[in-house]
Amino acid sequence: MIEQVASAFERQDYRTAAKLLKQLLKETPENPWVQFYVGRLHEASGKPQEAEKVYRRLLRDATNTKIVTQARQGLQRLLEIEQEERKRAIAQATADANNAELGVLVLEPVNNNHKTQLAQKFAQIIQIDSYSARLLLPSRGWRLYRSGAVGELKFYGEQLQNAGIPCFWAKLTDIEKIQVFQVNYFAETTQKATIICRNQANQLGSLSFDWTEVKGRVQGLLPIFEEVVDVSARRRLERKTQTQDYFQFCDLHLPQRRCILRFYDNGYEFQQGAKIAPQVSQNTIRINWNNLLNFFDEQLSSIKIWSDFALFAETALDQTEVLNNIESHIHLFRREKTNWDSAFHLYSGLIFLNSISE
């Protein structure tokens, strides 16, 4: 009867094949040839996952080399079909001009207890091995996983979300639309706070806001690089670029106004405007900055503080194509351009967009 099943498949007469297999499953359900043709029937019926299970079971258990070869060929066909369908879906997803814009796909942290299980799903969706997938899934902080056409990122992102893997995607143009004001100092700190600041055209002005408008707070350290002279192992003098210190940054997000208020320790004029804390002549910038952060703690006690920028930067600094397309709105004197500044603005901008989408 197996020959009749094979003949039915050659004629693509799947109805007859199904009837014959139904009878064979009652008589010899463990017969590997019967199992193989059950897999073929699943494949022909548009049930690739069921077919894959059968083929993989045969690869594991079958001893007949011909069946093993046929099962391997079946898996190869399923892979080719999946790849072709994926290409069509991505082409369709990026056909619209808006979906062809440059974007990023960010992975959010997963629970270590579920990491192995989620890594298997991640590997299947992204088509990589499970070991690499496990390394890519973050346990702490965000990972900038991929950049490209936002329609393609959405295609992958929706599959990941459906598999229980937390992630999100965003267009860089949406980050560009966020206004950034560089804060010089607070003129007033009452219920209606007023800041003296510069806009993106470097024009000096003032902006008043209510503390309840602030929905996000982002803090991060940006390295200060200096060229130093060092002695090599061969006792030769070498010039090296090293991190000497850090600038401290803090962004306050006002999503209703679609703007960010940006503070940094060496840019805030602590001797001007409203007194945040008692001023002592011996106060260092670090002490004054900590006083400012404590002041934010009092005014914004219920607002989440995002401070995992260093973890995000580890995954973002090599994404040169993305960072080169981002205006950092950070005006530090640097001898050489660095991706750190754009990475911080990207991190803050992604948090901003996430907050308004919730």
Name the residue among 109, 105, 103 with its Cα closest to residue 166: 109
What integer pLDDT is reported at residue 43 of this predicted model?
A: 81
Q: Give the pLDDT band of residue 23 (cuts 50, 70, 90).
A: confident
Q: What's CA 191's distance to the chain center, in Å?
A: 37
Only one residue has tokens 């190869």, namely 76
CB-CB contact of 195 with 257 (8 Å): no
Q: Among 101-105, 134-138, 271-275, 350-354, name the one with the lowest average pLDDT.
A: 271-275
Which domains does the chain show, CATH number per domain? 2-92 (1.25.40.10), 98-174 (3.30.1390.10), 178-357 (no CATH)
Are the beta carbons of 265 and 286 closer than 8 angstroms? yes
For tokens 């995000």, the residue is 312
Judged against a pLDDT cut of 90, whether residue 9 lies above it is answered with: no
Residue 216's SS3 state is strand
Give dist(CA 199, CA 211) in Å, integer: 20
- 221 DSSP β-pair partners: 248
Q: What is the pLDDT of residue 262?
A: 98
Please choose, from the candidates 209, 180, 179, 222, the residue with its C-alpha nearest in 3D space to the C-alpha of residue 300. 209
**CA 61 to CA 64: how far, in whole Å?**
9
* Region class of 164: left (phi > 0), else alpha (psi between -120 and 50), else beta: left
pLDDT tens string 132-167:
999 999 999 999 999 998 998 998 999 999 999 999
- H/E run at residue 247: strand 237-254
Separation of alpha carbons 192 and 258, rounded Å: 18
> 352 is written with which tokens?
């901003």
Name the DSSP class of 109.
P
Tokens describing residue 117:
């299980």
What is the model's pLDDT at position 100?
A: 83
> Which pLDDT does position 239 carry in this prediction?
63
| β-pair partners for 222 | 247
Burial zone of 329 (CB within 10 Å; 0-12 exposed, 13-18 middle, 19+ buried): buried
Report CA 294 to chain centroid distance, whole Å.
Answer: 31
In angstroms, the CA 69 to CA 75 distance is 10
Helix (H, G, I), strand (E, B) or coil at 222: strand
Helix or strand run (H / E) with residue 93: helix 65-93
For residue 256, name the pLDDT band (cuts at 50, 70, 90): very high
The more confidently predicted of residues 46 and 160 is 160
Q: Tell me the whole-structure pTM to 2 decimals.
A: 0.78
Kindly tell me if the per-residue pLDDT of 90 is higher than 70.
no
For the chain, give the percent of residues with pLDDT over 90.
52
Confidence of residue 304 (pLDDT cuts 50, 70, 90): very high
Helix, coil or strand: residue 253: strand
Burial degree of 271 (CB within 10 A; 0-12, 13-18, 19+): exposed
Residue length, the chain?
358
pLDDT at 49: 81
